[in-house]
Homo-oligomer: A and B are copies of this chain.
Amino acid sequence: MKKILIALETGKNEQACFRRIAEAAGVPCEFVFTTPGEATPDQVAEAAFIVGNVPPRMIAGSENLDVLQLFSAGADPYMVPGVLSEKTLLCNATGAYGLAVSEHAFALTMMLIKKLHLYAASRSRACWEDRGPVTSLSESTVLVVGLGDIGLCYALLVKAMGARVIGVKRRSGPCPEGVDELVLTSEIDRVLPEADVILSVLPSTKETVHFYTAERFAAMKNTAVFINCGRGDAVESEVLLQALRSGEIAAAAIDVCETEPLPADSPLWQEEKLMITPHVAGNFHHSSIYKGVLEIAYKNLANYLTGRPIGNLVDLSTGYRQ
């Protein structure tokens, strides 16, 4: 009897669907449906297949766990040595977040280039004040740093608004739809000075921690806007704040921070050139995410029970989907 732990809010329909998959595979399974916060240490320790981001400390090298299917795209807390045993396959939910996060990033982009973050700050002071000229995406070069699912969806959106799009990725390859020019991550410094908009959707890996250095912000246009919808550790708070205060860039928006929640006494809150959203771009706030995560989980449970290759595997050396 395989023990399957679904640590993800589900309704009757979703639960029935998981059970039907097990029946179709002809493998007797015992399902436990719970949430990440309510899963008990025993439930986690006994499970052979887990769907959901249960607390990493509960897993602690469980020898029963064959597959951990996360509902997040980022997998960094589960890659820490000692969390997963060697036999456990780690799967992320890359593919479920493209629409939601790219649209959030796109909305932040429009907000910044139209100075709506400044007008929102004026509003909070009951102040009718003109904040000056604005630009269009149709006259902008947009740098998309990280060309996974989210980056590619975002590229299509800004391209539809007439932007010139430069995509930045680790490995060379064909230029995807919506991207005008492809640049390797190692060559980013060559194109940073051209960008009017920089979107970062980098995951958290050894190579991406503090990727946006003071020197890189200094290389950007003074009129550039920087948006981070990837992982918070790609940029140190102090470096970002300094880049905004010194006028090295015009504005920024972050959905992620080095420390989350961002403490109430962080000086980042006080910087009106900075828009902050509390890691909500991909937080089940859009119906497409839940649907997408379930699709991946259904497919991988079927793969697991029938002995087919598991999809969305995380490469433990890079943190990316293999």
Contact = CB atoms under 8 A, between A and B. Distances in A.
Interface in A257-303: 260-262, 264-266, 269-270, 275-278, 280, 283, 285-288
Given A114-B104, A160-B160, A122 B285 contact: no
Interface in A148-166: 157, 160-161
B123 A285 contact: no
B116 A278 contact: no
Most buried by B among A131, A134, A160, A161: A134
A40 interface: no
A108 interface: yes
Given A103-B136, A129-B278, A120 B117 contact: yes
Contacts of A123: 120, 269, 275-276
A121 to B, nearest CB: 7
Given A103-B114, A110-B111, A114-B104, A288 B120 contact: no
Most buried by B among A100, A107, A283: A107
Contact of A114 (B107, B113, B128, B270): B107
Contact of A261 (B99, B128, B135): B128
Given A108-B116, A119-B278, A133-B287, 8 more contacts: A116-B120, A120-B275, A121-B124, A122-B276, A126-B270, A128-B261, A135-B286, A136-B286
24 contacts: A104-B134, A107-B111, A107-B114, A110-B111, A111-B116, A116-B116, A119-B277, A120-B121, A120-B123, A120-B275, A122-B278, A123-B276, A124-B124, A126-B264, A126-B269, A126-B270, A128-B260, A130-B278, A130-B283, A131-B280, A134-B285, A136-B288, A157-B161, A160-B161
